[in-house]
Amino acid sequence: MFDLKRRKRYNIFISEWGRLALVLMIAAAMVAITAVSVLRERWPTLVSTTQHTLVIDPGHGGFDGGAISDDGSKESDINLAIGLKMRTLAELVGLNTVMTRSDDSARTDYASYSEHEDLVLRTAIANNTPGAILVSVHQNDFPTGQPSGAQVLYAASPGSEDLGKTMHGNLIRLLDPQNRRVAAPAPKSLYITSHVKCPAVLAECGFMSNNFEVEKLNSESYRGMLALVMVGSVLQYLSQTQTI
């Protein structure tokens, strides 16, 4: 019950992690805000009329859970959660979106499932989308729990390297300044990045083999920050290339 007749002072306690999360969220927001401001200034019609479409590919899904952490978290679930947040943020600033999957249902039954055919289908979605920019969301894995940190791999298609280095730099600068990984060309063994024609990156947001990082990846706030930085990086890339 509130006493409206007397003034009372309340002390609000925010944990160190809470302060860090708040600072990081504000910093990440600046990437998107800055990019949108540039777009508004240069193109009065804003991003909503652009011919570009952000194709969001949450890796794995259905029968393929991807990497599994010690606590049972599935990579596919984390990828999808981040991807859905990316869609919400992109649409908020007027950027068209297409998702290669928007839930965890399987397209086929278990007996007829083919990982290769699934990758072919995802690639076709990007290649058949006019003005596509592909961001494939994944998590890394390693036999031991020491490695951590995000890394962006870029395709050989035109524009991919610039997009990849922009996104990787923002992820490091805003979310993990201690990370010493660098943006790198995607291995030829990765089907999607080897067969897309549009600017495309694969973002390894963290390590499923690192328990501390999995704890962050299961946090709604951290997922939101990852989504915000990646969408903001796409907008920043568009503003830099002036292709709108």
pLDDT value at 199 more than 80: yes
> For the residues of 146-163, what is the DSSP string, one character each?
-----EEEE-SSTTHHHH
Q: Is the model more confident about 97 or about 115? A: 97
pLDDT value at 14 more than 50: no
User: Could you give the 3-state DSSP secondary structure of residue 17?
Assistant: helix
| Residues 6 or more apart whose Cβ sits within 8 Å of residue 224 | 25, 85
pLDDT in tens, 61-98: 999 999 999 999 999 999 999 999 999 999 998 899 99
Q: Which two tokens stand for residue 17?
A: 């992690």
pLDDT value at 45 more than 80: no
Q: How far from the centroid of its chain's Cα atoms is residue 83's Cα? A: 6
| Residues 6 or more apart whose Cβ sits within 8 Å of residue 220 | 81
pLDDT value at 19 more than 60: no
Report the pLDDT value the prediction gives residue 51, as an integer from 0 to 100.
Answer: 83
Q: Which two tokens stand for residue 59?
A: 């890796």
160, 200 Cβ separation under 8 angstroms? yes
Report the pLDDT value the prediction gives residue 30, as an integer from 0 to 100.
Answer: 58
For residue 111, name the pLDDT band (cuts at 50, 70, 90): confident
For residue 36, name the pLDDT band (cuts at 50, 70, 90): low
Q: pTM for the complete prediction?
A: 0.81
CA distance 56 to 2: 47
pLDDT in tens, 135-194: 999 999 999 999 999 999 999 999 999 999 999 999 999 999 999 999 999 999 999 999
pLDDT in tens, 116-134: 999 999 999 999 999 999 9
Mean pLDDT, the chain, whole residue set: 85
- Closest by Cα among 62, 47, 51, 207 to 122: 62
79, 137 Cβ separation under 8 angstroms? yes
What value does the mean pLDDT take over residues 26-33? Answer: 55
